[in-house]
């Protein structure tokens, strides 16, 4: 049943992606309800999948890399739904759906590896893990908004903007969105990080070091950005680079933790 | 039942002729009653815009109806009406093309649909819109909507002013809190400033080598004039800089903008250089937060929109053709004794 939910949600994201590509190709993309509905359905099915898995495990379903990827994709979809309408970033669906789909496909094909045994539920460790992933959902969206910022800035500076220019939001809105998502993600990440220190379960040192590195990078990026030392372009580039680094480090941390 | 269309438009009559035939809103109900009193005419709608005056009518005898319309219009204007006319199904096709903006001076403009809707509503209120006319106009609105959503006929801005507005919207989003600084008081820059004002920009400051000209233009557009020596201080507060001076060298350079950009935080600056030779050094476009467009790039974007619209005409025509077929089937069914029963 949970596999059907996972495939169903992948299909929803695929529909969103296909619809966007088709309408962009036809040159008549209109920010509409289809993308939002498809992402909402995808997120709903992901949520169902995670619930089923959680009730089987009697713990938060983030014990293997595939589960972590699905949880991350679900967090991104939820943040997209939360900010999508308020910032009128409906084209964000065009960028969010493929990223979530990619995470989902990776989750299906990556071998689950060794499953951490559930040694009694430690609420702080569960809080730490789930909040960290929710934070990465927001930070992942800031990465996407950063990419959109750079694309739109390039379009505006070129003498011949292409068709996508008309469909992307204003650069000023995107710059604000990048910063707000960075702040939201960083706050949740910090709470999650703090919860980790309260946990009874010992956390591998390597995991703490990598997490601290990412936290420091985001703290530095935010401090420079909010103080005005980093402009919009550099903030967008920073949001992309740090998230991609975190995404690359995620399997490494997972691997080193299981070895440890 | 026949559908008849008779009128004049920007292709068949000069502006001074169109002015004489134009129908003011308060004159429309009386004219509609006159038109319906023509022998054989059951219903009539009058569409009067700056580019066209057209009568759409349902009639059993189009030839007699056309003569009647000519007489009424000639009596109103004191000159012979140089009317073109279309009969069914060409009149149906013509209305669908007009409502979709295909017959407009700027292809794909959307204002015309509102004007057609207004004309229909006036006729409905005057009681001159028959069942056939209701069906015809409702169908025309559907056609216009589907042409607009299924093709790119309304794609992109088509004038320098509207391109500037769209670019500004893609930089800042809402234009209502923005300040505009005009350097020079040329005609295109004035039109561009007015386009931005129509979107509600907060304030406009005019600076010109001749202060009197700046003051005069500022008074005309509801802005404020400053001496030309002070423009580089005023740019610190501006979000959009429209430049069109006759300066010999480059006026807006990276050296001048660098300290300004440092002090304005994350606020972007949109520079619209309408001068030839150019006032702005192209290097400013490489500065973070500065977006430069000159008259060439603005015209190029406008021209590309028009090319896209032109390319879409064929798709629109085929869409309209299928709708004309649908409407004609309905019209013929009115005379079908089987259906009548």
In a domain, B196, yes or no: yes
- Give pLDDT, residue A86: 47
The b/e string for A22-50 (b: 16+ C-beta within 10 A; e otherwise) is ebeeeebbebeebbbebbbbbbbbbebbb
Q: Which of A22, A23, A162, A171 to mutate to test the interface with B (most CBs of B within 10 A)?
A: A171
Q: In DSSP terms, which residues pair with B269 in a beta bridge?
A: B290
In a domain, B261, yes or no: yes
The model's confidence at residue A37, banded by pLDDT at 50, 70 and 90, is confident
Interface of B with A in 166-225 (CB under 8 A): 166-167, 169-173
Q: E strands of chain B, at which residues?
A: 2-9, 41-48, 52-59, 84-86, 179-183, 203-208, 224-227, 240-243, 269-273, 290-294
Whether B146 and B164 share a structural domain: no
Q: Give the mean pLDDT of chain A.
A: 82
Structure tokens at A56: 């089987």
**Does residue A116 have a pLDDT over 70?**
no
Whether B169 and B268 share a structural domain: yes
CA–CA separation, B222 and B226 (whole Å):
14
Whether A98 and A131 share a structural domain: no
Question: Is the Cβ pair A160, B300 closer than 8 Å?
Answer: yes
Which residue does chain B place closest to A235, by CA atoms? Answer: B266
Give the strands of the sheet with B224-227, arranged side by side: B224-227, B203-208, B179-183, B240-243, B269-273, B290-294
Q: E strands of B175-289, at which residues?
A: 179-183, 203-208, 224-227, 240-243, 269-273
Of A29-43, A122-136, B76-90, the range with the lowest mean pLDDT is: A29-43
Question: Is the Cβ pair A159, B300 closer than 8 Å?
Answer: yes
Whether B125 and B198 share a structural domain: no
CB B113 within 8 A of CB B141: yes
Q: Which residues of A touch B167 (CB under 8 A)?
A: 156
Residues of A with CB under 8 A from a CB of B: 27-28, 30, 152, 155-157, 159-161, 165-166, 168-173, 175, 228, 231-234
Structure tokens at B152: 């790119």
CB B68 within 8 A of CB B39: yes
- Give pLDDT, residue B211: 92
- Give pLDDT, residue A93: 65
Q: Which of B120, B150, B180 is the last residue of a domain?
A: B150
Q: Which residues of B touch A160 (CB under 8 A)?
A: 297, 300-301, 304
Whether A171 and A235 share a structural domain: yes
Taking one residue from A and the other from B, the number of pairs with CB-CB distance under 8 angstroms is 56
DSSP character string of B153-177: TT-S--SHHHHHHHHHHHHHS--TT
Whether A111 and A126 share a structural domain: no
CB atoms within 10 A of CB B266: 16
Structure tokens at B22: 């134009």
- Give pLDDT, residue B187: 81
Of A185-189, B126-130, B226-230, B296-300, the range with the lowest mean pLDDT is: B296-300
CA distance B150 to chain A (A): 8
**Does residue B304 have a pLDDT over 90?**
no
CA distance B146 to chain A (A): 12
- Alpha-carbon B222 to chain mean position: 24
pLDDT digit string (tens) for B188-214?
888 889 989 988 899 999 999 999 999
Closest by CA to A260, choosing from A114, A65, A62, A72, is A114
- Give pLDDT, residue A88: 45
Q: How many residues does chain B have?
A: 341
Q: How many residues does chain A have?
A: 260
Rg of chain B's alpha carbons, rounded to an integer? 26
CB atoms within 10 A of CB A130: 18
- Give pLDDT, residue B97: 96
**Does residue A171 have a pLDDT over 70?**
yes
- Give pLDDT, residue A28: 58
Of A34-38, B138-142, B174-178, the range with the lowest mean pLDDT is: A34-38
Secondary structure (3-state) at A109 = helix
Whether B151 has its CB under 8 Å from any CB of chain A: the answer is yes
What's the CA angle centered on B206, arms B201 and B208, to 5 degrees?
Answer: 155
In a domain, B77, yes or no: yes
Whether A136 and A260 share a structural domain: yes
Number of structural domains in chain B? 2
CA distance A172 to chain B (A): 5
**Which CATH number do you get for residue B295?**
3.40.50.720
Q: Which of A89, A118, A147 is the last residue of a domain?
A: A118
The model's confidence at residue A32, banded by pLDDT at 50, 70 and 90, is low
CB atoms within 10 A of CB A68: 23
Of A85-89, A256-260, B55-59, B323-327, the range with the lowest mean pLDDT is: A85-89
Whether B223 and B138 share a structural domain: no
Whether B84 and B187 share a structural domain: no
CB B23 within 8 A of CB B118: no
Helices (H), B78-186: 90-99, 111-126, 131-150, 160-172
Whether A93 and A188 share a structural domain: no
Of A165, A166, A170, nearest to B173 by CB-CB distance is A170
Whether A180 and A59 share a structural domain: no
Percentages of chain B per state (helix, strand, coil), in multiples of 5 = 50, 15, 30
Residue B267 burial (10 A CB sphere; 0-12, 13-18, 19+): middle
| Side-chain half-sphere exposure of A58, counting CA atoms within 13 A | 6
Whether A180 and A55 share a structural domain: no
Q: Which of B150, B183, B206 is the last residue of a domain?
A: B150
Whether B149 has its CB under 8 Å from any CB of chain A: the answer is yes
CB A41 within 8 A of CB A49: no
Q: Which of A118, A145, A162 is the last residue of a domain?
A: A118
Secondary structure (3-state) at A115 = coil
Whether A172 and A200 share a structural domain: yes
Torsions phi, psi for A203 (to 5 deg)? -100, 135
The model's confidence at residue A120, banded by pLDDT at 50, 70 and 90, is low
Whether B114 and B195 share a structural domain: no
CB atoms within 10 A of CB B268: 23
Q: Tell me the percentage of chain A whose pLDDT exceeds 70.
A: 86
In a domain, B270, yes or no: yes
Whether A84 and A197 share a structural domain: no
pLDDT digit string (tens) for B24-51?
888 999 999 999 999 889 999 999 988 8
Whether B167 and B252 share a structural domain: yes
The residue range of the domain holding B268 is: 160-300
Whether B217 and B133 share a structural domain: no
Q: Which residues of A touch B170 (CB under 8 A)?
A: 152, 155-156, 165, 168, 170-171
Question: Is the Cβ pair A170, B285 closer than 8 Å?
Answer: no
The larger pLDDT score, comparing residue A201 to residue A105, is at: A105
Give the mean pLDDT of B304-320.
89
The model's confidence at residue A121, banded by pLDDT at 50, 70 and 90, is low
Query: In whole angstroms, how far apart are CA B104 and each of B203, B207, B302?
Result: 33, 37, 17
The b/e string for B121-141 (b: 16+ C-beta within 10 A; e otherwise) is ebbeebebbbebbbbbbebbe
The b/e string for A208-246 (b: 16+ C-beta within 10 A; e otherwise) is eebbeebbebbeebbeebeeeebbbbebbbbbbebbeeb
The residue range of the domain holding A259 is: 122-260
- The answer to whether residue B61 is catalytic is no
Q: Give the mean pLDDT of chain B.
A: 90
- Give pLDDT, residue A113: 60
**Does residue B85 have a pLDDT over 70?**
yes
Q: Which residue has the tokens 């209109």?
A: A30
CA distance B105 to chain A (A): 23
Whether B228 has its CB under 8 Å from any CB of chain A: the answer is no
CB A143 within 8 A of CB A174: no
CA–CA separation, B35 and B40 (whole Å):
10
The model's confidence at residue A178, banded by pLDDT at 50, 70 and 90, is very high
Number of structural domains in chain A? 2
CA distance A177 to chain B (A): 13
Q: Which residues of B touch A27 (CB under 8 A)?
A: 152, 155, 308
Give the strands of the sheet with B41-48, arranged side by side: B41-48, B52-59, B2-9, B84-86
CA–CA separation, A36 and A16 (whole Å):
8
Whether B131 and B221 share a structural domain: no
CA–CA separation, A111 and A133 (whole Å):
20
Give the mean pLDDT of B110-120.
93
Q: Which of A64, A98, A118 is the last residue of a domain?
A: A118
The model's confidence at residue B291, banded by pLDDT at 50, 70 and 90, is very high
The model's confidence at residue A27, banded by pLDDT at 50, 70 and 90, is low
- Alpha-carbon A82 to chain mean position: 13
Whether A82 and A151 share a structural domain: no
Torsions phi, psi for B139 (to 5 deg)? -65, -40
CB within 8 Å of B15: residues ≥ 6 apart: none
**Which CATH number do you get for residue A216?**
1.20.120
Whether B301 has its CB under 8 Å from any CB of chain A: the answer is yes
Whether B205 and B172 share a structural domain: yes
Of B268, B293, B301, nearest to A171 by CB-CB distance is B268
Whether B40 and B83 share a structural domain: yes
**Does residue B243 have a pLDDT over 60?**
yes
**Which CATH number do you get for residue B30?**
3.30.460.30
- Give pLDDT, residue A239: 96
Whether B194 and B132 share a structural domain: no
């Amino acid at each position: 049943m949970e596999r059907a939910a996972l495939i169903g949600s992948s299909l929803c994201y695929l529909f969103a992606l296909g619809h966007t590509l088709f309408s962009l190709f036809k040159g008549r993309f209109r920010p509409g309800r289809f993308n939002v509905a498809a992402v909402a359905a995808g997120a709903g099915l992901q949520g169902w999948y995670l619930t089923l898995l959680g009730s089987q495990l009697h713990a938060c379903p983030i014990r293997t890399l595939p589960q972590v990827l699905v949880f991350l994709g679900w967090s991104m979809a939820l943040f997209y739904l939360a900010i999508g309408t308020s910032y009128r970033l409906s084209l964000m669906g065009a960028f969010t759906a493929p990223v979530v789909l990619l995470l989902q496909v990776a989750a299906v094909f990556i071998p689950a590896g060794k499953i951490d045994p559930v040694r009694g539920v430690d609420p702080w460790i569960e809080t730490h893990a789930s909040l960290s992933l929710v934070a990465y959902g927001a930070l992942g969206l800031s990465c996407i908004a950063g990419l959109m910022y750079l694309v739109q800035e390039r379009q505006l500076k070129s003498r011949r903007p292409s068709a996508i220019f008309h469909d992307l939001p204003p650069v000023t809105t995107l710059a604000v969105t990048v910063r707000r998502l960075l702040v939201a993600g960083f706050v949740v990440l910090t709470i999650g990080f703090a919860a980790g220190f309260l946990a009874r379960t010992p956390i591998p040192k390597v995991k703490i070091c990598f997490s601290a590195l990412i936290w420091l990078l985001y703290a530095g990026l935010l401090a420079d950005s909010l103080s005005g030392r980093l402009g919009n372009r550099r903030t967008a580039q920073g949001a992309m680079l740090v998230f991609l680094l975190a995404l690359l480090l995620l399997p490494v941390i997972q691997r080193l933790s299981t070895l440890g | 039942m026949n559908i008849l269309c008779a009128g004049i438009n920007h292709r068949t009559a000069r502006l001074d002729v169109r002015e004489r035939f134009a129908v003011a809103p308060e004159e429309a109900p009386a004219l509609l009653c006159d038109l319906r009193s023509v022998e054989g005419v059951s219903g009539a709608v009058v569409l009067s815009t700056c580019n066209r005056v057209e009568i759409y009518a349902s009639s059993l005898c189009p030839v007699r109806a056309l003569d009647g319309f000519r007489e009424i219009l000639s009596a109103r204007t004191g000159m012979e009406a140089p009317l073109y006319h279309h009969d069914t199904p060409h009149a149906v096709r013509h209305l669908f093309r007009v409502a979709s903006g295909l017959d407009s001076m700027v292809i794909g403009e959307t204002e015309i649909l509102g004007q057609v809707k207004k004309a229909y509503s006036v006729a409905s209120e005057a009681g001159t819109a028959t069942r056939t006319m209701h069906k015809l106009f409702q169908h025309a609105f559907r056609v216009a909507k589907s042409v607009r959503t299924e093709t790119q006929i309304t794609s992109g801005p088509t004038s320098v002013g509207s391109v500037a507005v769209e670019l500004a919207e893609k930089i800042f989003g809402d234009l209502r809190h923005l300040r505009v600084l005009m350097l020079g008081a040329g005609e295109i820059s004035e039109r561009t400033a007015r386009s931005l004002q129509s979107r509600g920009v907060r304030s406009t400051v005019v600076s010109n080598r001749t202060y009197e000209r700046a003051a005069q233009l500022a008074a005309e557009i509801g802005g404020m004039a400053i001496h030309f020596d002070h423009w580089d201080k005023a740019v610190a507060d501006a979000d959009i800089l429209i430049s069109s001076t006759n300066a010999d060298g480059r006026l807006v350079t990276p050296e001048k903008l660098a300290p300004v950009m440092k002090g304005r935080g994350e606020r972007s600056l949109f520079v619209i250089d309408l001068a030839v030779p150019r006032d702005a050094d192209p290097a400013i476009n490489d500065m973070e937060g500065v977006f430069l467009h000159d008259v060439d790039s603005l015209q190029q974007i406008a021209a590309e929109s028009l090319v896209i619209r032109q390319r879409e005409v064929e798709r629109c025509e085929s869409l309209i053709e299928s709708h004309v077929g649908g409407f004609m089937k309905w019209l013929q069914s009115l005379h079908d004794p089987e259906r009548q029963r």
